[in-house]
């Protein structure tokens, strides 16, 4: 298991996305399957200013993955950024809230500025996986001063196809990060 997505068929180790894609990240885990009541809670957290859910989710993540994170030897936590326009409109970035809370709980440095979004991607449901990945790879940039201090943990709210985490991870690895892991609150069902 690489992305942590539950697979329907018992005999398969990797989900379909992990089988056919060479993801840049090493591996990752998610707390919950993206279904009720978690999906509604995330929606509220994301779009209806329920920032308080962030500390609840972060506490759960810390509890569940403290040991795992220690084994991954994480030196820096980086949230998936929102485009500045989107962030202004929403007033906050849910992934940033999660990352900051988790960093506090585990006493790991959080860097919310080094990776940023330069293109405000539209919802990509009409695109196929390849087009989506190509689009997302151009959507992020990394600060020219940033240098890896060790392995990185990327944080987001939901893991779906892996394209977003992959795009961020690609930048971090290009800049010399040895291992990139991720944690999200929820994950979609795999094929
Ligand atoms: Zn997978």
Q: How far is the CA of 162 from the centre of ligand 1 (A)?
A: 8
Q: Does 107 fall in a domain? A: yes
Q: Is residue 123 part of a domain?
A: yes
DSSP string, 84-109: HHHHHHHSS-HHHHHHHHHHHHHT-E
d(CA 49, CA 176): 36
Ligand 1 center from residue 18 Cα (angstroms): 4
175 in any annotated domain:
yes
Tell whether 14 is covered by a domain: no
> Ligand 1 mean position to 1 CA, how many Å?
7
Residue 89 Cα, ligand 1 centroid: separation in angstroms? 32
Residue-range definition of the domain harbouring residue 90: 22-187
What local confidence, expressed as pLDDT, does residue 124 receive? 67
Residue 9 domain-assigned? no
Q: What is the pLDDT of residue 6?
A: 84
Distance 85 CA to ligand 1 centre (A): 31
Q: Is residue 117 part of a domain?
A: yes
Question: What is the reported pLDDT for 150?
Answer: 97
Residues lower than pLDDT 50 in the chain: none
CA 17 / ligand 1 centre spacing (Å): 5
Answer yes or no: is 97 within a domain. Answer: yes
Please give the model's pTM, rounded to 2 decimal places. Answer: 0.94
Q: From the CA of 5, how far away is ligand 1's center (Å)?
A: 5
Return residues with CB closer than 5 A to ligand 1 (ion).
3, 5, 15, 18
Angle between helices 52-72 and 38-47 (to 10 degrees): 110
Q: Domain tally for the chain?
A: 1
Does residue 181 sit within a domain? yes
Query: Domain containing 70 — which CATH number?
Result: 3.40.50
Strands (E), the chain: 27-33, 74-79, 109-110, 115-117, 140-142, 151-159, 180-187
Q: How far is the CA of 74 from the centre of ligand 1 (A)?
A: 21
Integer Cα distance of 161 and 7 in angstroms: 13
């Amino acid at each position: 298991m690489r992305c942590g997505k539950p697979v329907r068929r018992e005999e398969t180790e990797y989900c379909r996305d992990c089988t056919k894609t060479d993801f840049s990240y090493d591996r990752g885990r998610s707390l919950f399957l993206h279904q009720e009541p978690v999906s509604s809670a995330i929606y509220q957290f994301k779009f209806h200013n329920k920032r308080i859910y962030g500390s609840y989710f972060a506490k759960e993540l810390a509890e569940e993955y403290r040991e795992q994170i220690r084994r991954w030897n994480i030196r820096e936590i980086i949230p998936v950024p929102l485009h500045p326009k989107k962030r202004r409109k929403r007033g906050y970035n849910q992934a940033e809230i999660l990352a900051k809370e988790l960093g506090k709980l585990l006493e790991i440095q959080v860097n919310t500025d080094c990776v940023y979004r330069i293109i405000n991607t539209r919802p990509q449901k009409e695109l196929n996986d390849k087009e989506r990945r190509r689009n997302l790879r151009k959507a992020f940039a990394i600060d020219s001063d940033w240098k890896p201090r060790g392995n990185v943990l990327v944080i987001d709210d939901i893991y779906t196809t892996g394209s977003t985490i992959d795009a961020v991870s690609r930048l971090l690895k290009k800049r010399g990060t040895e291992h990139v892991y991720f944690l999200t609150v929820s994950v979609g069902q795999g094929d």
